[in-house]
Structure 1
Amino acid sequence: MSAVDESTDLFRQEAAELVAALERGLLDLEQTPQSAELINAIFRDMHTVKGSGAMFGFTDLARFVHDFETAFDRLRQGEVQATPALIAVALRACDQITALIADPVSARAASDGLLAELAAALGQNPAAAEPVVEGLHLRFYLPVDCMRLGCNPVLLLEELRALDQGAGEVPVRALVDRVPSLPQLDPQDCWMGWEVTLRGAVSEAAVGEVFLFLRDDMELIITPLAPQKDAQAPDAAVTRQPDPAEDPEASVAASGTAAAGNTIRVPTERLDELMDRVGELVIAEARLSSLAYSRRDPALLAVAEDIQRLAAGMRDTTMSIRMVPIGSIFGRFRRLMRDLSETLGKPVNFVTTGAETELDKTVIEMLADPLVHILRNSIDHGLETTEARRTAGKPEAGTIELSATYSGAEVLISVRDDGRGLNAERIRARAIEGGLIAADAQLPESDLLRLIFEPGFSTAKTVTELSGRGVGMDVVKRTISGLRGQIELSSEPGHGTTVTLRLPLTLAIIDGLLIEVGGEHYSLPLAAIEECVELPEQHAVAGSSASLLNIRGAMVPFVRLRDLFETPGAAPEFQKVVIVSSGGARVGLVVDRIVSNSQTVIKQLSQLHAHLKCFSGATILGDGSVALILDVSQLVDYGRAREERARHAGSVFGRPERAVA
């Protein structure tokens, strides 16, 4: 890829972030239309999009944004108000900006229509002509960093000369009063100013077109030559930089300070590669530590401890680089909910909390689609119509809350609505109709509600653009399972539904508990472990007693991993039980021995092993051997299923089942 292509791609990435910021600002402004801070922030984002677009050759984009920027300048001046109509047009303008970046030629035709809508929203006549003046005197100072951004002052002066339309020679005088002393002068900074006299018929709008991409960051004084209004008073003056004639050292220092805080963009592929290298380093460090402890060499042990400390620091730093605030995707959902509210005619108060909660960037990227499906279902299926809410004594506007919070080494993301809740009987009827369960099946309500995540399941009576095909929640389940997460579902008829996603902070390196079963090592995610206890003597022999443990008054089903994995040989005399939890349920895993805690570098299983549902990956131990990582959610589901079968059989006794994942 050429340098030009890389720069253009960089612009597209930055523009996407700016458009997202614009949408957030516009949606906030709709709620607080008098906020000067929001108006200024929107104006700055528009100006940045315009200037960057011009720099990278997106001229149509720059001119389109310029007109919207002008409208928000009127908002800044208090000449117009931020009406819902103006916000609606501005939101569609955000879509047009994205289209002009993706395909400027195809999107160009839609710009004029939006500009006409903008004029109507502002109460303007788009055909109004700018007055022409016989002669203008210009005095201007360009932004100090204009040449760094690709501006050529000589070309600007040539454009001004071309405006004079043959009225003779155009006088130009350089202004050097702001140029700092030589030791402080940076040749890339533009400290000069100019005075230009245009004697022909010219409009101020034409002058503004010359400075289209610099106008709001420069000082420009326009004075008509012929006495009109008050010829001595400048019509406009915009100042961004301090006057270096008063304190040039302060200006140079300020410029240097701003530059010092710059950040750089790194392609995600490089971050992924760095994470892979750190993972290999963690494995090598574990092998070195194992070797050092086996040799008992003090010098080697000291080196191993240093490497362990450095590897841990590099691991934590690299993982922190990959962490992204979940608020980066929260913003796009506000626009989604606004549009769905208008489409369905259901007023909605959309509330977000915990936007600062951080997750691994890979998790963030894969969360967007599942959350879209959940939110669409919440407003389409969950919330009642305005009339139904009024009849039920609820506020006419429904509430949907999207929240994120930390829970140990996991993040909980919840979508809660105050709608009608899930109808268990209707779900059961549709499940029987679709052949998902038998007509005489007796399922607990929690399992019944979870049927909405089955492929093809839908309770919608008709197929619409939003729902009815039964594919949305299936996508949610598959994606969350692929992220090693769990879904929790709770509902109260008449009061609403809550869907909670439990997700790991990272998919690369986790803290694990190393266990042994039949001489083989396995790893359990430490975040899923509640406690470890001794297996009571009466449960030591398989099939000899109940399959439930009494853990401080709570009955917890347990699974013997020896039976599950069909491990040959006799079990040791003293076995351990590791209590794990998932989705609010608990199960005990009977193991031969607990080995140690360790940093677990997750390696994905190959396609040949994709059918092994009880394993989520593998890791390499310090001695070079491989340990499979157990999938806690699958094991918990298996334990719960055993418990339900035992209960429906009328007894919790019987021989443990053997099952291969």
Structure 2
Amino acid sequence: MDDEGLQAFIDEANQLLQQMEHILLDAENAQGNMDLLNALFRTMHTIKGSAGLFALDDIVKFTHEVENVLDLLRKGSIELDEALVSVMLRCRDYVQTMVDAISNAKIIPSIEDRTALLTELQCYQVAKTVLIATSAPIVKEAQIEFVTCESSSLSWLIFLGFGPDLLRHGLDPASFLRFLTRQGRIEKVLPLIDTQLNAADFDPEHNYLQFALRFEGNTTVAALHDVFEFVREDSLVLISPLAEAHEFLQQQTGQIQPEVWEKINAAWVELGLAPLAIEKPAPVDEAPSRPALETTAQQGAVKKLKPRKPVKTTFLRVEAEKLDSLINLVGELVISGAAGNLLASQNGAMALQEWSLSMSNLIEQIRAGVLSMRMAQIGEVFQRFPRVVRCGQRIG
């Protein structure tokens, strides 16, 4: 297993769990704030997806159950009351324990805690199911049998148009296929390579590979799209049940380029889609960036995802030893600058003194900047206090 990649997962999970705790402790504001509720859902969703890439099955299964309850929460099916906040905080702590156990063999997550939490999470989901059943009109027995038949394994057709920067982002196309097998079974894979590629123009960091798949599994379109959560913004991902593939392809006309549409149609025909005379899509205007498409579970509706928002603040992780070494070098530079100031004053040359003063100011700015990088945010010191206060209020 890639140690650097696993450490990156641990760091990301710790940040997401910290964010989850802040939202839960500020539950009164989160109750009516869809952005916060969606962010709360994404914390578990992202941890689940990243854990799947490293085959951390225990984390994937547990976070999936937490994610289901959070999905009900953001849809308004349940409320973020005090009891649910307590359950979510305990789930957050258990996920933290599982993440810590990856790098520390002495930490062993409690099976009893896991069982108790899963039972409470299932109670929320069962309560929602019972509520729907009691509020729905009575249906005939034949209709119930029809719904049961729908739960059998389905055939799916998938097109994975991975973006050109996939490899530069450190992502492996094969890892998504391995993760997809958790939803069912891949029957056939067609690699789609640009046959007009010139060897002289080949870039080893550029992704040229796309896939068409036939997949068997008892799942949903939404669940399958979740597998490709990390590449949806830069890729073209199309998923349709085999029985609805013709209608689905017709919906793509005008949405994607004709040559791409023809490639998908030909690949899906080879995977089992019956040939059908479908009107060739009209040319569409070239977009600045390739949009990712997805469908809903019931209607297969297609929508363009919003372009990736520019990142306002970015962070770069640097080893503490490197920062300490830089601070030491800046300290030596300060000493040398002071010696230069002394020589300039003894020499008496006005131009040399002005240069020395300017150099001293620059050195001081560098010193202040380097020292600020080594400082820790004061919020991290007090971030656990709200949790302690909340526990005290509940006990009192």
Scaled by the length of structure 2, the TM-score of the pair is 0.63
Q: Is contact 1:80-1:122 (8 Å) kept?
A: no
State the 1:189 CA deviation. Answer: 4.7
Quick check: 1:290 aligned with 2:309? Answer: no
Identity of aligned residues (%): 26
Mark the CA change 1:138 to 1:57 in structure 2 (over 3 Å): closer, same or farther.
Answer: same
State the 1:330 CA deviation. Answer: 3.9
Larger Rg: 1
Q: Is contact 2:52-2:60 (8 Å) kept?
A: yes
- In the alignment, the residues of structure 2 paired with residue 130 and residue 339 of structure 1 have an alpha-carbon distance, to the nearest angstrom, of 48
Query: Cα deviation per residue 1:416-435 (whole Å; 9 max; x = unaligned)?
Result: xxxxxxxxxxxxxxxxxxxx
Q: Which amino acid aligns with 1:335?
A: R
State the 1:20 CA deviation. Answer: 0.8
Question: Which of 214, 239, 252 is 1:221 aligned to?
Answer: 239
State the 1:25 CA deviation. Answer: 1.3
Partner secondary structure for residue 136 of structure 1: strand
Quick check: 1:204 aligned with 2:219? Answer: yes
Q: Which has the higher helix share?
A: 2
Q: Which residue of 1 aligns with 2:156?
A: 137
Q: Is contact 1:11-1:52 (8 Å) kept?
A: yes
Q: Which residue of 2 aligns with 1:117?
A: 120
Q: Is contact 1:15-1:49 (8 Å) kept?
A: yes
Q: Which residue of 2 aligns with 1:107?
A: 109
Query: Cα deviation per residue 1:92-151 (whole Å; 9 max; x = unaligned)?
Result: 11111111011158216243331221111344599xx99632532233446646654534
Query: Cα deviation per residue 1:17-69 (whole Å; 9 max; x = unaligned)?
Result: 22111101122234442321111111222222223333445332233222222
Partner secondary structure for residue 107 of structure 1: coil
Mark the CA change 1:331 to 1:187 in structure 2 (over 3 Å): closer, same or farther.
Answer: same
Question: Which of 342, 353, 357 is 1:305 aligned to?
Answer: 357
- In the alignment, the residues of structure 1 paired with residue 178 and residue 330 of structure 2 have an alpha-carbon distance, to the nearest angstrom, of 54
Q: Which residue of 1 aligns with 2:173?
A: 152
Q: Which residue of 1 aligns with 2:71?
A: 73
Q: Which residue of 2 aligns with 1:277?
A: 329
- In the alignment, the residues of structure 2 paired with residue 158 and residue 83 of structure 1 have an alpha-carbon distance, to the nearest angstrom, of 34
Mark the CA change 1:89 to 1:171 in structure 2 (over 3 Å): closer, same or farther.
Answer: same
Query: Cα deviation per residue 1:212-262 (whole Å; 9 max; x = unaligned)?
Result: 64358644534264x9xxx9689xxxxxxx96875454349x999969975
State the 1:191 CA deviation. Answer: 7.7
Q: Is contact 1:139-1:220 (8 Å) kept?
A: yes
Q: Is contact 2:24-2:30 (8 Å) kept?
A: no
- In the alignment, the residues of structure 2 paired with residue 115 and residue 160 of structure 1 have an alpha-carbon distance, to the nearest angstrom, of 24
Q: Is contact 1:75-1:81 (8 Å) kept?
A: yes
- In the alignment, the residues of structure 2 paired with residue 340 and residue 319 of structure 1 have an alpha-carbon distance, to the nearest angstrom, of 37
Question: Which of 40, 51, 56 is 1:58 aligned to?
Answer: 56
Query: Cα deviation per residue 1:522-554 (whole Å; 9 max; x = unaligned)?
Result: xxxxxxxxxxxxxxxxxxxxxxxxxxxxxxxxx
Query: Cα deviation per residue 1:483-537 (whole Å; 9 max; x = unaligned)?
Result: xxxxxxxxxxxxxxxxxxxxxxxxxxxxxxxxxxxxxxxxxxxxxxxxxxxxxxx
Query: Cα deviation per residue 1:333-369 (whole Å; 9 max; x = unaligned)?
Result: 22221122223x1xxxxxxxxxxxxxxxxxxxxxxxx
Partner secondary structure for residue 132 of structure 1: coil
State the 1:273 CA deviation. Answer: 2.9
Partner secondary structure for residue 34 of structure 1: coil
Q: Which amino acid aligns with 2:114?
A: S
Within 5 Å, give how 1:315-326 maps onto structure 2.
315-326=367-378
- In the alignment, the residues of structure 1 paired with residue 339 and residue 226 of structure 2 have an alpha-carbon distance, to the nearest angstrom, of 62
- In the alignment, the residues of structure 2 paired with residue 243 and residue 21 of structure 1 have an alpha-carbon distance, to the nearest angstrom, of 37
- In the alignment, the residues of structure 2 paired with residue 184 and residue 37 of structure 1 have an alpha-carbon distance, to the nearest angstrom, of 43
Mark the CA change 1:164 to 1:44 in structure 2 (over 3 Å): closer, same or farther.
Answer: closer
Mark the CA change 1:13 to 1:44 in structure 2 (over 3 Å): closer, same or farther.
Answer: same
Q: Which residue of 2 aligns with 1:194?
A: 212
- In the alignment, the residues of structure 2 paired with residue 142 and residue 108 of structure 1 have an alpha-carbon distance, to the nearest angstrom, of 42
Partner secondary structure for residue 80 of structure 1: coil
Query: Cα deviation per residue 1:254-291 (whole Å; 9 max; x = unaligned)?
Result: 99996997542112332233223323322332232123
State the 1:91 CA deviation. Answer: 0.7
- In the alignment, the residues of structure 2 paired with residue 41 and residue 156 of structure 1 have an alpha-carbon distance, to the nearest angstrom, of 27
Question: Which of 10, 13, 20 is 1:12 aligned to?
Answer: 10
Mark the CA change 1:187 to 1:260 in structure 2 (over 3 Å): closer, same or farther.
Answer: farther
Mark the CA change 1:338 to 1:43 in structure 2 (over 3 Å): closer, same or farther.
Answer: same
The number of aligned residues is 320
Partner secondary structure for residue 157 of structure 2: strand
- In the alignment, the residues of structure 2 paired with residue 134 and residue 7 of structure 1 have an alpha-carbon distance, to the nearest angstrom, of 34
What is the root-mean-square deviation of aligned Cα atoms in Å?
4.7
Mark the CA change 1:119 to 1:154 in structure 2 (over 3 Å): closer, same or farther.
Answer: closer
Within 5 Å, give how 1:218-367 maps onto structure 2.
218=232, 219=237, 221-223=239-241, 225=243, 247=286, 249-251=288-290, 262-298=314-350, 300-343=352-395, 345=396
Q: Is contact 2:337-2:360 (8 Å) kept?
A: yes
- In the alignment, the residues of structure 2 paired with residue 322 and residue 79 of structure 1 have an alpha-carbon distance, to the nearest angstrom, of 45
- In the alignment, the residues of structure 1 paired with residue 150 and residue 391 of structure 2 have an alpha-carbon distance, to the nearest angstrom, of 41
Q: Is contact 1:271-1:322 (8 Å) kept?
A: yes
Q: Is contact 2:337-2:363 (8 Å) kept?
A: yes
Q: Which residue of 1 aligns with 2:265?
A: none
Q: Is contact 1:119-1:125 (8 Å) kept?
A: no
Q: Is contact 1:184-1:249 (8 Å) kept?
A: no
Q: Which residue of 1 aligns with 2:32?
A: 34
Partner secondary structure for residue 250 of structure 1: coil
Mark the CA change 1:7 to 1:335 in structure 2 (over 3 Å): closer, same or farther.
Answer: same
- In the alignment, the residues of structure 2 paired with residue 15 and residue 158 of structure 1 have an alpha-carbon distance, to the nearest angstrom, of 19
Q: Which amino acid aligns with 2:335?
A: I
Partner secondary structure for residue 133 of structure 1: coil
- In the alignment, the residues of structure 2 paired with residue 61 and residue 298 of structure 1 have an alpha-carbon distance, to the nearest angstrom, of 68
State the 1:315 CA deviation. Answer: 1.9
State the 1:325 CA deviation. Answer: 4.1
Q: Which has the higher strand share?
A: 1
Scaled by the length of structure 1, the TM-score of the pair is 0.40
- In the alignment, the residues of structure 2 paired with residue 326 and residue 158 of structure 1 have an alpha-carbon distance, to the nearest angstrom, of 39
Structure 1: which 5+ runs fail to align?
235-241, 346-661
Q: Is contact 1:43-1:73 (8 Å) kept?
A: yes
Partner secondary structure for residue 204 of structure 1: coil
Deviates more, 1:288-297 or 1:152-161: 152-161
Structure 2: which 5+ runs fail to align?
130-147, 250-254, 261-284, 292-305
Q: Is contact 1:100-1:108 (8 Å) kept?
A: no
Could you say which structure has the greater relative contact order, defined with CA pairs below 8 angstroms and 6 or more residues apart?
A: 2
- In the alignment, the residues of structure 2 paired with residue 279 and residue 190 of structure 1 have an alpha-carbon distance, to the nearest angstrom, of 49
